[in-house]
Structure 1
Amino acid sequence: MRLLQALFFPPEQPGGVSSMIPHLQERFSSPHWEMELFSLPKRIRNKGQEEIQFHTFDWKRYEQSPIVQKYIQTYKDYLWWTKLRLTKPFDLIHAHHPIAGLVMKQVFPDTPVIQTIHSSYERELILNGRIEEGGLEHQFLTSIYREIEHRADRLLTVSYSFRDYLSSYVDKPDHITVIPNGYDEKRFKPIPHENEVPQFITVCRLVPAKGLDILLYACAELKNRGQSYVLHIIGDGPIRMELEQLAKKLGIYNETIFYGYTLHPEEFMPFFDIFVLPSRAEAFGSVFAEAALCLLTLIGTNVGGIAEQIEDGVNGLLVPPEDPIALADAMEKVIIDPAYRYELARSGWDKAKSEYSLSRVVHELKKIYLQYQK
């Protein structure tokens, strides 16, 4: 079977999809499977000129929005690049971004297309203050879900909570299959170590949706309580300067290290102790599974896919979003009790190994793919 994995970002980009899909290739390398990866290079901008039409709504109702215009231009670019570079037929296409899936079905109308929806672009834009809930952009982006449902042969997503979210925007939510992301266990190597001062780490794009302002306020509260710690922030983004200024204002800049973007954080994540990320929304939260596989204690917010990964007090700690005091309380629990911290980390590692392994994902995907074998 000739398979195409259609990504949006190039495989080397950070994130849940790129943490999983490139590693599928070696698992599908057999005489029965032939897999290729495809994505839109960053250098491709404003090349596509073909007019775009959707089957279920008229996008031109929203065309006065610059964000919608950019989305449509990206669609045109992806379409142009696909027609330029893909000439061989495929038996099955698995798309991992709405634009990728819609383009693939347009270019290969007779080829089955499976679409995984990994996250919500509109929720990210709302939480990051770039669009208004219920506004033109929100209406356009949520209309895309029904268009995907209409054109794809099968819909998948990464968590039950995100399937519930999608149910408002599709006609048959019960037809959506949930397959959480999977990770190649060989990439994660827990390392025995003893840090005299507890080391917190977070890995994410520095945007408001990730709740890092709440994390800094919680860290300031810890310092006021006399607790020693170091916070390592790996990632970059538009609010980095704002976060650094907040850390200075709160008097915790000396305890906080901003690394910027790092390509393979899993290589040194095992040297830290506790992973913490108070996201305001997460469809799945891949970095929690990755941190668990590094044998780190997990602290997250009770939202989306995070709450499906963490059972509070069993394999990590959950706190309400937007609550720095509750977050500080959770962080303090694992600072003052290293044995409890290790117990949570060990349980988190066990769950991640059993539920988020790449082997499990490969097994589930093969079963689905074989249903489309001619």
Structure 2
Amino acid sequence: MELGVKQMKHYLVITPFFPSEDSFRGSYVYDQVNEIRKQTGTKITVIRLYSFLDKNAHLYNYDGIDCIPFVVYDIPSFIFPGLFHKINLSRLETLLKQYQLSGIDVIHAHVNYPAAHLAIGLKKLLPKAKYLVQHHGFDVYQQKNGRLRFVFNKIQNKLFKKRSSKLLSQFDVNIGVSQKVLDQLSHFVTNTSIPLVLYNGVDTSKFHEVKVDKEEDFTIGCIANFWKIKDQKTLILSAIELLKEGLKIRLKFIGSGPTLIECKKLIPQDLEAHFEFMDEVAHHDLNTFYNQINLFVLPSYYEAFGCVYAESWATNTPFIAVKGQGIEEVLNDEMKELSLVEVEDVLDLSSKIRHFYTHNVAFEFNPHLKIENTIRNYIEKIENI
């Protein structure tokens, strides 16, 4: 049966991340389904996946969206993922019956495992639904997951990737947050399931230019967990070089993680006053942060798309990213020239920052990245499948 916008009455999301009263993680998933709700009037229900080690699994409602907890049984450290798949799937089917979730039009899973593996297992129970899976990172087969990934890497490559490809190929649509993400899927998947790019659109009612008091020094902002791939190290080293040249700059970092201490140690004591580190800022305060800074820089070299670049762009704050990342797909040639740098290249990044320091550069926000436009196009494509 053809599924038009008017017919889409119930949209089920299966995801390991969704915001709650005490966490902003997964805000982009909320923004996505909230916009779907606005444009279609469909009822949204979220099945929030938790590890059995997570003690915080609970039923809650977030802005009118019921979030039903489902605890996934698995061996820790991503060892033999899916070993208890039949048990988990049986429990999930029982959960759907318990909450009377039978008239589902669309099932949208986020991330390959466990969400997609479980979602596609519901086909016998809900055969009329459309099945979608969305991939948010380059590591679609999750080969970097788990502390013991090197020990089990060969096993995972042969068994888990093969099984994942088989299951992913059964979805009506495989969604990537960039084309570069879809390129990571096996040809078997993209030849049998419809590949679709859905960029993380920006809610411009939340992220937009406002007049705020800026600091006297040229301020550079960075938002990311302190992981090696985010490469705050290169930004810090570049800033140190520029400070030694006499540039009046200040850096503000938001995030925490394993490389934070190492990064702080890079900063000479006489320059520490130019660097500020914050663990977290409430999501609703980020618009003010973007507007207060002069330049946003995240030299991450493993960025499937990068919501933070788009959010910064929407506030008319220029940004710098690394070449070859998802955000590059939506930049024009001028922006690519000015805003993209080589991986882990201190000199290149220093040069790009220096240019923004000495030139008042502004880029018009790409209207295709407004969330009402990305979701409108998405709905049009889904209804025709």
TM over 0.5: yes
Q: Is the 8 A contact 1:204 1:235 kept in 2?
A: yes
Relative to its length, the structure with more helix (as a share) is 1
- SS of the residue 2:108 aligns to: strand
Separation in 2, partners of 1:330, 1:127 = 34
Higher mean C-alpha displacement, 81-90 vs 215-224: 81-90
- 1:176 to partner: Cα distance: 1.1
One-letter code aligned to 1:116:
Q
CA 165–310 in structure 1, closer or farther in 2 if over 3 Å, else same:
same
**Equivalences for 1:119-138 in 2 at 5 Å?**
119-121=137-139, 131=149, 135-136=153-154
Deviation beyond 6 Å, 4+ runs, structure 1: 73-78, 122-125, 127-130
Of all paired residues, the percent bearing the same amino acid is 19
Q: Is the 8 A contact 1:40 1:81 kept in 2?
A: no
Separation in 2, partners of 1:247, 1:167 = 43
One-letter code aligned to 2:184:
Y
- 1:225 to partner: Cα distance: 1.7
Q: Is the 8 A contact 1:101 1:113 kept in 2?
A: no
Please state if 1:282 is matched with 2:292. Answer: no
CA 206–123 in structure 1, closer or farther in 2 if over 3 Å, else same:
farther
Q: Which residue of 2 aligns with 1:198?
A: 218
- SS of the residue 2:236 aligns to: helix
Higher mean C-alpha displacement, 279-288 vs 184-193: 184-193
One-letter code aligned to 1:253:
E
Relative to its length, the structure with more strand (as a share) is 2
In the alignment of these two chains, the number of paired residues is 346
Q: Is the 8 A contact 2:254 2:279 kept in 1?
A: yes
Separation in 2, partners of 1:74, 1:48 = 9
Q: Which residue of 2 aligns with 1:358?
A: 371
Q: CA-atom RMSD, angstroms?
A: 3.4
Q: Which residue of 1 aligns with 2:5?
A: none
- 1:237 to partner: Cα distance: 1.6
Higher mean C-alpha displacement, 359-368 vs 143-152: 143-152
- SS of the residue 1:101 aligns to: helix
Q: Is the 8 A contact 2:301 2:322 kept in 1?
A: yes
Q: Which residue of 1 aligns with 2:25?
A: 14
Q: Is the 8 A contact 1:190 1:294 kept in 2?
A: yes
Gaps of 5+ in 1: 53-62
Please state if 1:118 is matched with 2:136. Answer: yes
Higher mean C-alpha displacement, 161-170 vs 179-188: 161-170
- 1:104 to partner: Cα distance: 1.6
Q: Which residue of 2 aligns with 1:23?
A: 34
Q: Is the 8 A contact 1:48 1:73 kept in 2?
A: no
Deviation digits for residues 146-171 of structure 1, max 9, x if unmatched?
13433312211121222223246745
Deviation digits for residues 30-83 of structure 1, max 9, x if unmatched?
3xx22222212443599555xx9xxxxxxxxxx9xx633274479789747734
Separation in 2, partners of 1:222, 1:133 = 43
- SS of the residue 2:107 aligns to: strand
Please state if 1:95 is matched with 2:103. Answer: no
- 1:29 to partner: Cα distance: 5.5
**Equivalences for 1:40-51 in 2 at 5 Å?**
40-41=49-50, 42=54, 43-44=56-57, 48=72
- 1:118 to partner: Cα distance: 1.5
- 1:142 to partner: Cα distance: 4.3
CA 215–46 in structure 1, closer or farther in 2 if over 3 Å, else same:
same
One-letter code aligned to 2:377:
E
One-letter code aligned to 2:31:
M
- 1:334 to partner: Cα distance: 0.6
- Calculate the TM-score normalised by the size of structure 2: 0.78
- Calculate the TM-score normalised by the size of structure 1: 0.80
Q: Which residue of 1 aligns with 2:62?
A: none
Please state if 1:107 is matched with 2:122. Answer: yes
- SS of the residue 1:278 aligns to: coil
Separation in 2, partners of 1:112, 1:171 = 17
Q: Which residue of 2 aligns with 1:56?
A: none
